[in-house]
Amino acid sequence: MILITGASGKTGSEVARQLAAAEVPFSAMVRSREKGEPFEAMGADVVIGDMSDEDFLQRALAGIEKAVLIMPNGEQQQAMEMRFTDLAVEAGVQHLVYLSSIESVPENLNPITQMHVAVEKHIRQSGINWTIIRPSFFMQMFLGAAKGIRERGELVFPAGNGTVATTDLRDVGEVIRLVLTEPGHENQSYDLTGPELLTLDECAERISRVIGREVRYVDQPMAEFADRLRSINMSDWRTQAVCKEFEAISRGIIDHTTDTVSELLGRPPISLEQCIEDHLELFQS
């Protein structure tokens, strides 16, 4: 049996959708009965509990063959992910698939990326078979910006002239499904990107073309962006970390694409245009 943590989140729900479509049995870890309902409807098992509860994790990991470790960014993420890894080893899990990020390199001194670097090292040294999935920023960040595009024709982020090759979450989900269902991906690290490295100006142009209306990129001052994140109740730790991620983009720290999605899936990664086209209703007033 496969266990997916963070199943109700962006990546977890996509992995679940892909496994269900391929009729692969899995168990979804969620924090409430209500959040488990979509997975029950898919025919999956549901385990309800918190990643900070060690007794719960021991029960959830009993009989699990493969686990997908996904957690949102936060101050406790590193400790919880390392503990989960140790408990997975103790429970005899044979393969751990970990969601990290492409910008997690030792020279990127950001709390999120430093945390991923430390957890990746812990997993590699744990003795378990691992696969580390390292996507670039999710393309779905542009879907989150749909309201500003719809209402004001503005794409607002503090990325300066930096470039990013965003990855569609559906590609991430499909790669994880493949890693879980085919042999040969053990002890591999996969850096995933979309097809093109684009500035946010260029992203705005692409979005304009697809939705048929002008979209202008606004390079938001970092302090305003931080206020925007706090206004949606993001913690101070995470707000600062996300701001540092955008500073890293504007400094060009993630300045390459990879062929990993094409090599693994045998087709090109989903383009920004395709992603917008597939969610066109979000951009229509």
The contact set with ligand NAP (CB under 6 A) reads: 6, 8-12, 31, 35, 50-52, 70-73, 99, 101, 112, 135, 137-138, 141
Q: Which is nearer to ligand NAP, 78 or 220 (CB)?
A: 78
Shortest reach from residue 170's CB to ligand NAP, in Å: 13
What span, in angstroms and rounded, lies between the C-alpha atoms of 106 and 89?
26
The secondary structure of residue 271, as a DSSP letter, is: P
Q: Which is nearer to ligand NAP, 73 or 220 (CB)?
A: 73
What span, in angstroms and rounded, lies between the C-alpha atoms of 80 and 40?
26
HSE (side-chain half, CA atoms, 13 Å) at 256: 7
One-letter amino acid identity for 169?
Answer: L
Shortest reach from residue 50's CB to ligand NAP, in Å: 4
The residue nearest ligand NAP at its CB is 9
- Cβ atoms within 10 Å of 51's Cβ, excluding its own: 21
Shortest reach from residue 107's CB to ligand NAP, in Å: 17
Q: Which is nearer to ligand NAP, 70 or 207 (CB)?
A: 70
Q: Which is nearer to ligand NAP, 101 or 250 (CB)?
A: 101
Q: Which is nearer to ligand NAP, 11 or 257 (CB)?
A: 11
Shortest reach from residue 214's CB to ligand NAP, in Å: 26
What span, in angstroms and rounded, lies between the C-alpha atoms of 134 and 253?
15
Is 167 in contact with 196 (CB distance < 8 Å)? no
Q: Which is nearer to ligand NAP, 50 or 90 (CB)?
A: 50
Q: Which is nearer to ligand NAP, 51 or 264 (CB)?
A: 51
Alpha carbon separation from 248 to 79, 109, 253, 255 (Å, rounded): 24, 9, 5, 10
Shortest reach from residue 242's CB to ligand NAP, in Å: 9
6: left (phi over 0), alpha (psi -120 to 50) or beta: left
How long, in residues, is the chain?
285
Shortest reach from residue 6's CB to ligand NAP, in Å: 3
Element (DSSP H or E) covering residue 123: helix 111-125
Shortest reach from residue 219's CB to ligand NAP, in Å: 19
What span, in angstroms and rounded, lies between the C-alpha atoms of 115 and 241?
11
Distance of CA 136 to the CA centre of its chain: 8
